[in-house]
Every structure is written in structure tokens, then in C-alpha cells.
């Protein structure tokens, strides 16, 4: 469902909205919402600074694991979420053996000709990794109409009051994590 169109002096942003039962928190710097995927194993988290241009400051201090731990203790609430409409999010990184991130993760031997050991997959003693390319794509799928039902079940839905409204109308941080707190995708949205 597409919400109103936000109009600015230079451009127009299509927005999508929905009402969901999600974990939500709000502190002095930002608000955070968890949007579970259908399988309930993965969730998207969105961290929206209160200050319109506050994302760069938030990124200096934010700790994703602390956010995940805190969100697990937050109560689920019924809320309205409004986000910029997107079809897919993409992220791509290229690493080499001298990259600081790989050193921090203790992934160095695989890039060294003398120390790499891929004996389990190849007989070539000189096999090593010259570069690593990480690419992730997340697609947003919207069903135009519900799939045909084979049987009908009638359930009376008692509406819950909306306790929060989350409007992502400026830059924010988002990431996808599983229940074990493994982060699979992270990115920023800049308007």
C-alpha cells in the first residue's frame, strides 16, 4: 500500500505504509523499529535519528549488537510504519588480504600464498584467495492480490490501538538480522 507522496522543493519520494505488531523503542537520540519477515527468523531493523541530519553522528556511537539485545526486551506494540518505497536494496564490498576488516575478523591466512590451506577442496598447494567480493540484494515483494484460498477460516479481529507512529522521512540506518543476532545486511538510506 502506498501512502501519501512527500513533496520537497527538489524531488518527490513515494512512501509505503503499514500497520504492524512490532518491537519499538525510542530514546533521546533515535527511535528503532523491528519489522519481522514472514518467516519470523529474520527481521529488518530501522534506526531513525530524531535530528533530520543526525545520522552521521549516530553512526559514530551506535552498536548494532546492543540494539539487538535491547530490542529483544522491548514489548511488541501495534504501530503505523511509513517508509520510503523501495523495490530492492543492494550492497557490494570488495576486500583484499591487507584489508583491516578481514584482519580484525582474523581472516588472513586464506589470502597468503604461503599460509593458505585449501587441501579439503583442491590439490593445488598454491591456491589462495586474491580478493573477496561480497554482494547482497534484498528485494521487497508486495502481493497485488492475496493467493487463492482453499478453505475459509473466519476470525474475529479485535483492533488494537496504534501506540506508535514511525515515519522514516529522513536519513536512517537499517540492517537485517536473524534471531541469533547475526547481521546479514546493513546499509544507510540518505534522502
- Residue 157 is part of a domain; what is its CATH number? 2.30.39.10
The verdict on 156 and 62 lying in the same domain is yes
The verdict on 101 and 180 lying in the same domain is no
Hey, which bits of the chain come out as E strands? Answer: 2-7, 12-26, 30-36, 42-49, 76-84, 88-96, 131-139, 164-167, 172-178, 183-189
Looking at residue 125, its pLDDT comes to: 82
Q: Up-side HSE of residue 37: CA atoms within 13 Å toward CB?
A: 14
Q: What is the pTM of this model?
A: 0.66
Looking at residue 145, its pLDDT comes to: 40
The verdict on 32 and 63 lying in the same domain is yes
Domain that holds residue 109: 91-133
The verdict on 71 and 17 lying in the same domain is yes
Q: Is the backbone of residue 106 left (phi > 0), alpha (psi -120 to 50) or beta? A: left
SS3 call for 160: coil
The verdict on 158 and 79 lying in the same domain is yes
The verdict on 81 and 103 lying in the same domain is no
If one compares 112 and 49, the residue with the highest pLDDT of the two is 49
Instruction: Assign 10 a pLDDT band (cuts: 50, 70, 90).
Output: low
Q: How many domains does the chain have?
A: 2
**Mean pLDDT of all residues in 18-45:** 88
Give the least confident one: 73-77, 103-107, 175-179: 103-107
Cell numbers for 9: 522543493
> Cα(187)–Cα(176) distance, rounded to whole angstroms?
9
The verdict on 82 and 57 lying in the same domain is yes
Nearest to 18 by CA among 83, 87, 80: 80
The verdict on 63 and 99 lying in the same domain is no
Amino acid at each position: 500500500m502506498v501512502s501519501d507522496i512527500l513533496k520537497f522543493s527538489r524531488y518527490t519520494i513515494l512512501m509505503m505504509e503499514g500497520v504492524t505488531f512490532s518491537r519499538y523503542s525510542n530514546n533521546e537520540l533515535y527511535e528503532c523499529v523491528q519489522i519481522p519477515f514472514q518467516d519470523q527468523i529474520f527481521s529488518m531493523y530501522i534506526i531513525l535519528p530524531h535530528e533530520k541530519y543526525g545520522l552521521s553522528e549516530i553512526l559514530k556511537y551506535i552498536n548494532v549488537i546492543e540494539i539487538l539485545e535491547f530490542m529483544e526486551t522491548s514489548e511488541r506494540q501495534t504501530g503505523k510504519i511509513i517508509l520510503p518505497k523501495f523495490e530492492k536494496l543492494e550492497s557490494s564490498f570488495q576486500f583484499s588480504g591487507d584489508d583491516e576488516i578481514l584482519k580484525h575478523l582474523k581472516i588472513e591466512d586464506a589470502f597468503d600464498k604461503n599460509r593458505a590451506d585449501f587441501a579439503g577442496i583442491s590439490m593445488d598447494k598454491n591456491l589462495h584467495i586474491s580478493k573477496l567480493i561480497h554482494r547482497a540484494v534484498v528485494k521487497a515483494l508486495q502481493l497485488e492480490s492475496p493467493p487463492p484460498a482453499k478453505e475459509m477460516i473466519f476470525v474475529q479481529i479485535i483492533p488494537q490501538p496504534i501506540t506508535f507512529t514511525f515515519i522514516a522521512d529522513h536519513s536512517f540506518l537499517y540492517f537485517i538480522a536473524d534471531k541469533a543476532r547475526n547481521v546479514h545486511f546493513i546499509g544507510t538510506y540518505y534522502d
